[in-house]
Chain A
Amino acid sequence: MRNQRTKMLVLSLSIIMMLTILSACSGGNSGEGSNKGNNTSTNVSAEDPDADNSGTETADGNQDVEELTLFINHSWYPIKEWKGSVADKITEKTGVKLKVTVATDDKQLPLMIASGDLPDLIFTASDIDRLSNSNISYPWNELVEKYAPNFEIDPTRIAINTMEDGNFYTIRNAFATKQEWENNKYALGNDGTPGIAVREDIMKELGNPELKTLDDFVKLLGMVKEKHPELVPLVMDKNWIESYFMTQFGIEAGFGSWYENEGKAEYYLKHPKMLEFFKFMNSLYRNGFILAENFAHANDQIDDEYAVSGKAFAHSHTVSVAERDNISTKQNGAAYTFKMIPSSLSEEAVRVNTGVGWSGTFITKNNKNPEKSIKLLQFLASDEGKKLTMFGIEGEHWTWNEEGYPNLKYNTADSDFVNSNGIKWWFLYSDAIVEGLWGYVPGTQTTQALLETKAITTYKPEVGMIQVKADSEEKTIKTKIDEMVTNEKVKIYLAKSDEEAVQRYETMMKNAEKIGLQKLDDWANKTYEEKQSLFK
């Protein structure tokens, strides 16, 4: 009898276990399903009673606030929620509220595309050509014609973003034509421009040596090493290791991109100055100015720690590095400050802006309200919308200066303020001019560095149009070359002698040829010739 009971107990336990396992398997799916169901009929005020939106809703009478899902394919995105005064204002103007998901890594979007499980809107800078597919996204041209006939988009932008099927599925932000750049002298480049900051106190101690050439800078690092052996002379952000120095050598392309040479497009590896640049980087290492460990940084905060905690003299990152470091050192109560060194340290210094835009918004076929979606973008594209997203609320956050730039009432480097108000980051549709005006704050180091950079910048968006397509042969070749260079370049930087560096450089070039560098360039040239007509 007792045996029977134990048996029954064990039996029922194992059945329960099995059920839990099975239901756990399907749990994820069913949860998502019910979520989707919710979204279609979401009433914002019901879900989020304390949001300001509830007020607007009643004010607008019957107009429902539509909640759309937005996937942001930038895992570093500082804003993860639709809140702050700017977001509220956008909702008030457009009747759209966004439910935001920020990517956990760069594999998430490809997997979402593969599984067909897409949100209403996607904001991304990669996989552009995968999403530009009429099975996946709505072409903007169709939506504009149907729902927003008065949404006027500048023809150059349309041309740049038009795909082979004749449709355009997004307009990327952060782009301006050469004409627009020239017409807006206060519009500067954005923070994606390299810069180096140095410790002001140590500069003073060394008698503020002159910094006119790259040699001066190298000598300065030498002096620091001698006088302050406890300091790392130069620490570099892992994503900004090469950029500043390549600029000084007159190499007008970054890693993984093309440059123009006598009317032909060539991959950056072929630039005649590349060897010289590699030798220079190697000399920095051999002189002990940079650490080998710098090339092994697992994240982009390690270099900041070096700089802020006073273990490094110079810190290379972007033009705003000095100001950001200063905010952090101040918080830490440290006595020293950083200042930028000039953006150009040689006559040859050159920057070519090949930008054709950075990130764009896609309206997927899963979108439950394409009409409101395109109208949201239309609002963001309007003068009012662009200024609202980039500067904040007029009067409260900024006033317009007659000179042609906004007088901001806050510090743009104060990321807590910027992020909590939702300034800048909702630029789902924007352009480089209004983004550039945000960067113009007279008297700051960042602005100074950006002005210097703009002075040596030329604009060649046609080069930026050379973009390999997903699943194409060129893409495979390019990925392989880039991957190979990532591994081989470090060997050159860390070579034990000049000869070894040269020899490793040659091996790298041979590998590139073997993988198909020539084939890649042939294709690039063909594309380049085709695309040039867009900008005439």
Chain B
Amino acid sequence: MNFETKWATPFKAKRHQILWKRFKKQIVLQLFVGMGMVFLLIFSFTPMFGVVMAFKDYSIVTGIKGIFTSDWVGLKYFDEFVNDYRFGQIVRNTLILSFLKVIFAFPAPILFAILLNEVRHMAFKRFVQTVSYLPHFISWVVVVGIAFSFLSADIGIINKLMVKIGLIDMPMDILTNANYFWGLAVGSAVWKEMGWWTIIFLAAIAGINPALYEAAEIDGAGRLARIRHVTFPGIKGTIVVVLILTIGSILGGGLVGSNFEQAYLLGNDVNNPTSEIVQTYAFKVGLADGRFSYAAAIDLIQSIISVLLIFSSNYIAKRVSGSSLF
């Protein structure tokens, strides 16, 4: 016993010293990480306590205190949502819109990045890249305004053009037809965000060792073969990580995001059967009406689905490609 204390203390002290030294060396990096942690703590973790609201009979008149003092009602609000007459339709819309976005919006920037990478004319390449990522900075409200003036059946320039050149007889009601909403949403999201995400993949491609290309060329690989055997494997890791992140936020629209903005702004009474999603519904019957508990319950259901999706996609990615987030 005596022996142990005698010898352990200096060792411990030494270890502390080493840790402190290493920390001091990394102080700048640690500060950056610290800021991120503080941000998460304040804006992501602290508000999470509000989730108890979903299980309580909360009324906004009682203020923030009311979150803790109101009565427990268990799963009442979950039950109410699941038994809602539109539950099936809303969940279907959310899932379909989300998966369509993964299917179409996820590969788009990868293909675009590979195409851009093959462009040899530098000025043209830069021009295309700039033009394609600019829409990212336009807010959805403005995009919807633009969509209206382009696609409206009555004043839309595209409809007018197509009628003029005889492609169609009657203007298409793209904005006010439930059948077109998913296509419209996915299309506009791809247009707006594709260029932005291309940057990540272009960066990944830039990181590939040029020697590999030279070697492939000497081995007689053509352009397509080089893309297939060098570029693609080179950015596989990036693709998998981005895919997993995408699937984690899939119900919000994944990579291109903005399910809510689109459903809320592009949605209207006419295309409502396909445009109403869980989030807009929570907003309309929950928040707008002051029923915070109900809204919290609806969104919690969606979050649970999202967490399940991220874990399963991570597991599958680990099995299939060997790379994963955790």
Contact = CB atoms under 8 A, between A and B. Distances in A.
B285 A295 contact: no
B63 A115 contact: yes
A136 B61 contact: yes
Given A296-B271, A487-B276, A11 B35 contact: no
A287 to B, nearest CB: 16
Task: Give the interface size bracket for A toward B.
Answer: 35 or more
Contacts of A133: 61
A397 B8 CA distance: 95
A17 B35 CA distance: 9
11 contacts: A14-B31, A127-B290, A130-B290, A291-B154, A293-B176, A293-B270, A295-B176, A298-B268, A479-B285, A490-B272, A491-B273
Given A295-B268, A298-B268, A490-B272, A471 B290 contact: yes
A341 interface: no
B288 A107 contact: yes
A483 B31 contact: no
Contacts of B289: 475, 479
Interface in B139-189: 144, 148, 152-154, 173, 175-177
B42 A25 contact: yes
Contact of B175 (A17, A136, A296, A471): A296
Contacts of B27: 11
B288 A130 contact: no
B60 interface: yes
Contacts of A296: 175-176, 268-271
A292 B176 contact: yes
A292 B270 contact: yes
Given A487-B272, A490-B270, A107 B284 contact: no
A205 B71 CA distance: 69
A296 B276 CA distance: 14
A480 B285 contact: yes
The 8 closest A-B pairs by CB, nearest first: A296-B268, A114-B60, A490-B269, A296-B176, A110-B290, A487-B272, A471-B59, A14-B31
A508 to B, nearest CB: 11
Contacts of B28: 7, 10-11, 14
B35 A21 contact: yes
A280 B273 CA distance: 23
Contacts of A17: 35
Contact of A110 (B39, B60, B154): B60
Given A127-B290, A486-B269, A489-B269, 19 more contacts: A11-B28, A18-B31, A18-B35, A107-B288, A114-B63, A116-B63, A130-B60, A292-B173, A296-B268, A296-B271, A298-B265, A470-B59, A470-B61, A471-B290, A480-B84, A480-B285, A483-B284, A487-B272, A487-B273
B226 interface: no
Most buried by B among A232, A296, A491: A296
A293 B35 contact: no
Contacts of A475: 289
A85 interface: no
Contacts of B326: none
A17 B273 CA distance: 47
B287 A107 contact: yes
A2 interface: no
Interface string A93-123: 0000000000000110011011110000000
A211 interface: no
Nearest to B66: A114
Interface string A289-323: 00111011010000000000000000000000000
Nearest to B276: A487
Interface residues of A, dominant DSSP: helix
Contacts of A10: 28
A162 interface: no
Contacts of A110: 60, 290
A514 interface: yes
Contact of B85 (A21, A111, A291, A484): A484
B136 interface: no
A136 B63 CA distance: 11
A147 to B, nearest CB: 26
A515 B270 contact: no
A111 B144 CA distance: 27
A293 B154 contact: yes
Contacts of A514: 85
Interface string A441-467: 000000000000000000000000000
B285 A130 contact: no
Interface string B108-131: 000000000000000000000000
A494 interface: yes
Contacts of A484: 85-86
B268 A130 contact: no
B203 interface: no
Interface string B55-70: 0000111011000000
Interface in A249-298: 291-293, 295-296, 298
Interface in B26-73: 27-28, 31-32, 35, 39, 42, 59-61, 63-64
Contact of B153 (A116, A130, A293): A293
Contacts of B92: none
A334 interface: no
A15 B35 CA distance: 10
Interface in B250-288: 265, 268-273, 276, 284-285, 287-288
Contacts of B270: 292-293, 295-296, 490, 494
B288 A15 contact: no
A476 interface: yes
Contacts of B284: 483
